[in-house]
């Protein structure tokens, strides 16, 4: 009898390595490795979470109905066309499992979110990366990579880890070039942070076309990564498909209640956005003054070029010694960069101070 063997593709997966959360086993002064939302969760979400404790013996509402209605009200969307998940990661995985299989291709942009190729390999499909232009997704390059095997195209907009975004005209151009049997997944995890006139999150395209979905998360601006809550908005046909495959109780009770409360706390969300609007440009400008190369970002993080992988690794060690945790992104093919989440005023100033001392000693 032959030995136990996993399905094809799985052993090609390099396991996803999350951002570090401690320095030599100790609590960091600032964890800036996972883009978690500088201000943390809303006090209202925390209160809803605490209140859920008495009901932990109850199964959650399997359809997340109240939460879907709250998302629908907040974003002006039809709740019937929303599906909630255990993080947008779960939804991204369900979409790939539903529409991609052995022999198919999943297309994404060179520095796109790592879960896209991982999900493709997990179903035995081939991940195909289109080259980027100056760390920006290049829709023409993506279109050039479409073949008759392409089944799913994943576009993070804005993208992690580069922080760049694709204009609405370019996303439309990409959609237009796709055959009708190819799904376009617009992963808008950082949409709430963007205030550019030529950006749209994907809602408009979902409303217009049968082969486009948009995914969103509570892990970033809502500061609830620990609870695992995300959602997608899609055409009725795709919502029906995903509803068949998803686990019946995929979103836990506390996440549903805290998610509703977080949406209601507009002041907290506004404060989180304002924090980013102030400290992202400040940090980028300060790092530029130090001679470093921050990529232009519209997310709640910035990827900073150090000129070489050795210097980036040295800067990582230096920051860690100061109790600050950035993210090394060699796994994305960007070993000469560190990605740094935009934290609070105190945190970004510590980053500036740490890197100023680093640069002074490591010209």
Ligand X SMILES: Cc1ncc(COP(=O)(O)O)c(C=O)c1O
Name the site residues for ligand X (rule: CB under 6 A): 35, 87-89, 113, 156, 160, 187, 189, 217, 219, 225, 230
* Residue 301 and residue 275 in contact, taking contact as beta carbons nearer than 8 Å: no
Shortest Cβ contact with ligand X: which residue?
Answer: 87
- Minimal distance in Å, beta carbon 300 to ligand X? 10
DSSP line for 29-41: SEE-SS---TT-S
Nearer to ligand X, 151 or 216 (CB): 216
Here the tokens at position 15 are 């396991």
Q: Residue 228 — left, alpha, or beta (φ > 0 → left; ψ -120 to 50 → alpha)?
A: left
- Minimal distance in Å, beta carbon 187 to ligand X? 5
Q: Fill in the DSSP letter of residue 61.
A: -
Edge-first strand listing for the sheet containing 301-305: 293-294, 301-305, 337-341, 327-328
- Minimal distance in Å, beta carbon 57 to ligand X? 26
Nearer to ligand X, 160 or 272 (CB): 160
Nearer to ligand X, 217 or 316 (CB): 217
* Distances, alpha carbon 90 to alpha carbons 122, 129, 158, 190, 298, in Å: 13, 21, 19, 17, 24
Nearer to ligand X, 28 or 158 (CB): 158
- Minimal distance in Å, beta carbon 169 to ligand X? 21
Q: Fill in the DSSP letter of residue 4.
A: P
Q: SS3 for 206? A: helix
Here the tokens at position 183 are 């799904």
- Minimal distance in Å, beta carbon 54 to ligand X? 27
Nearer to ligand X, 185 or 283 (CB): 185
- Minimal distance in Å, beta carbon 140 to ligand X? 22
- Minimal distance in Å, beta carbon 234 to ligand X? 16
Nearer to ligand X, 190 or 358 (CB): 190
- Close Cβ partners of 304 (under 8 Å, ≥ 6 residues apart): 287, 292, 293, 294, 295, 337, 338, 339, 340
* C-alpha to C-alpha distance for 103 and 151, rounded to whole angstroms: 10
Nearer to ligand X, 223 or 286 (CB): 223
- Minimal distance in Å, beta carbon 362 to ligand X? 29
Nearer to ligand X, 236 or 245 (CB): 245
**Phi and psi (nearest 5°) for 301?**
-160, 165
Q: Fill in the DSSP letter of residue 224.
A: -
Nearer to ligand X, 139 or 359 (CB): 139
- Minimal distance in Å, beta carbon 331 to ligand X? 13
- Minimal distance in Å, beta carbon 232 to ligand X? 11
Nearer to ligand X, 89 or 265 (CB): 89
Helices (H) then strands (E): counts for the chain: 12, 13
* Residue 223 and residue 341 in contact, taking contact as beta carbons nearer than 8 Å: no
* Residue 167 and residue 183 in contact, taking contact as beta carbons nearer than 8 Å: no
Helix 65-75 and helix 253-264, axial crossing angle in degrees, nearest 10: 20
């Amino acid at each position: 009898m032959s030995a136990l063997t996993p399905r094809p593709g799985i052993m090609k997966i390099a396991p996803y390595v999350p951002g570090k959360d401690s320095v030599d086993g100790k609590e960091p002064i600032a964890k800036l490795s996972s883009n978690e939302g500088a201000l943390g969760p809303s006090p209202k979400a925390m209160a809803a979470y605490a209140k859920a404790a008495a009901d932990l013996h109850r199964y959650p509402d399997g359809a997340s109905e109240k939460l879907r209605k709250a998302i629908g009200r907040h974003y002006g969307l039809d709740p019937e066309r929303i599906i909630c998940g255990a993080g947008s990661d779960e939804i991204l995985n369900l979409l790939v499992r539903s529409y991609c299989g052995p022999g198919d291709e999943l297309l994404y942009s060179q520095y796109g979110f790592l879960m896209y190729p991982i999900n493709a390999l997990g179903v035995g499909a081939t991940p195909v990366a289109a080259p980027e232009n100056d760390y920006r997704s290049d829709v023409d390059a993506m279109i050039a990579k479409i073949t008759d095997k392409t089944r799913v195209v994943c576009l993070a907009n804005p993208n992690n880890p580069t922080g760049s975004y694709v204009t609405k005209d370019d996303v439309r151009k990409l959609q237009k070039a796709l055959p009708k049997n190819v799904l376009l997944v617009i992963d808008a995890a950082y949409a709430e942070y963007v205030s550019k006139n030529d950006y749209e999150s994907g809602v408009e395209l979902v409303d217009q076309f049968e082969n486009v979905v948009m995914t969103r998360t509570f892990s970033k601006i809502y500061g609830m990564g620990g609870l695992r809550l995300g959602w997608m908005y899609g055409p009725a046909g795709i919502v029906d498909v995903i509803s068949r495959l998803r686990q019946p109780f995929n979103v836990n009770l506390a996440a549903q209640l805290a998610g509703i409360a977080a949406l209601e706390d507009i002041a907290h969300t506004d404060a989180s956005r304002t924090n980013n609007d102030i400290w992202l440009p400040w940090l980028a400008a300060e790092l530029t003054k130090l001679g470093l190369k921050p990529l232009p970002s519209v997310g709640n993080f910035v990827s900073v070029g150090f000129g070489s992988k050795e210097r980036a690794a040295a800067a990582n060690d230096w920051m860690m010694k100061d109790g600050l945790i950035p993210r090394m992104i060699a796994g994305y093919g960007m070993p000469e960069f560190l990605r740094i989440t935009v934290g609070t005023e105190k945190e970004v100033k510590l980053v500036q101070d740490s890197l100023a001392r680093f640069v002074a000693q490591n010209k």
